[in-house]
Every structure is written in C-alpha cells, then in structure tokens.
Amino acid sequence: MARCYSAIVPNRQMPRPSRSPLPDIWLVSDARNDRGLEHALARLPRGSGLIYRHYHLAPADRRARFEALARAARRFGHRVVLSGTARQAREWRADGAYGAAGNLAPGPATLRLVTVHSLREIAEARRARADAVLLSPVFPTRSHPGAGTLGPVRFHLLAARSGVTVIALGGMTGHRARHLPTRKWAAIQGLARSPTRVFPIHS
C-alpha cells in the first residue's frame, strides 16, 4: 500500500476554459453489454455519460457502432467519450477521450478521462491534463475475477489526495455508490442490466 502514497506533483499548467459539469453516472461500453446499450442509455438520468470502448470490433465496425451509439446517447443529452487518443476523439466528434495517461497526454484540447489505480498514476493523469480520473477497481469485478481491489477505505484515501475529480469504477452499483465519497461513478454490467433501481439518491 505504501507505493500508493507517492507525492502528487502540483498541477502548474495554465487554466483551461471552463466546461459544463461532468456527469455523475457513466456507462462504459463493452462486448458483454453491447446488446443492451440502447436500452441502458434510455434509462440513464438525462445528461449522463457514455464511455465507448468496444475493443472487440474491427476498426470500421467499431467506428460504425460508435456513430450509432453516439446518436442514441445524444438524444438523451448524454456526453460521449471515446476510448482513444485526444486526436482520435476530435476526429470522431466525441466529447472527449478516455484511456491511460500516456495515451492522452498529447493532442488537442478536449475532455480527458484517465484510468488510474494509485497515487502515482493520479499524478501522471494530472500531468496529462486529466479533467477527471476513473479510480479502480473499487470492488470485485467480473472483468478481473480474483484480482485485488481498493475497497471503500482505500478508495476514500486516494480520492481525498487526488486533487482532481474522481469517478469510481469497478463493481459499482447505485447501492454501492451511496457509500463512497463521490457522487460520480461508472459501470459496465452494473448499468447495463435491467433492474429498475440502479441509481443512487444523494441528500
């Protein structure tokens, strides 16, 4: 655990133009939830977010599926973020880019959502101009059965020291989101399944 407490490097970059607030809830696309994505997008609170991955598709098919889901998402006022470089996100007319800090550091100005697992990676994300980090895995996930998790306490400690907006990822559901120190969370299966109540209520 000690490795997670490396020093955060102050963010000394010039301020960027203000953007509208980030959505609280993010649906992450995947081969496993593809068939239900349109339905899931329609059920999300208006103004939520879609992170489009779909790594399983060939390039042309991936682009075509992105276009279809982006249209569906924007009918409900959702933000659409592409897993790829900032330049690719601009070319595809996505609202932003998602990925590791090293892939997102270069390129034009756009919304950047960076995947992180430790304070060291959070520091790298800040240097990469991250607007927010997806901190994971908070809880056990189907994607990585048996893998280690942060748990609520460690997640809280990392989030408190992040210096950037944190989005919880990994085994997330609306019920679990109620017990974390952030309003913002993302899920693959937890938002693509069909229960009628998946969204947390915040006081």
**158 Cβ contact list (under 8 Å, min separation 6):** 4, 118, 119, 122, 135, 150, 166
Provide the b/e sequence for 57-66 (b: ≥16 CB within 10 Å).
eeeeebeebb
Per-residue pLDDT averaged across 22-30, rounded? 96
pLDDT value for 146: 61
For the stretch 30-81, pLDDT in tens is: 999 999 999 999 999 999 999 999 999 999 999 999 999 999 999 999 999 9
pLDDT value for 182: 85
What percentage of the chain exceeds 70 in pLDDT? Answer: 82
- In terms of pLDDT, which residue wins out, 166 or 12? 166
CB 143 within 8 A of CB 121: no
Q: Is the pLDDT of residue 179 over 90?
A: no
- Cα separation, 125 vs 116, in Å, equals 8
Instruction: Say which amino acid occupies 164.
Output: V
148 three-state secondary structure:
coil
pLDDT value for 144: 59
- Cα separation, 139 vs 52, in Å, equals 22
- In terms of pLDDT, which residue wins out, 124 or 144? 124
pLDDT value for 69: 98
pLDDT value for 28: 97
Comparing 90-104, 132-146, 173-187, which segment has the lowest mean pLDDT? 132-146
C-alpha distance from residue 132 to each of 11, 96, 143 (Å): 13, 11, 22
The mean of the pLDDT values for the chain is 86
For the stretch 69-128, pLDDT in tens is: 999 999 999 999 999 999 999 999 999 999 999 999 999 999 999 999 999 999 999 999
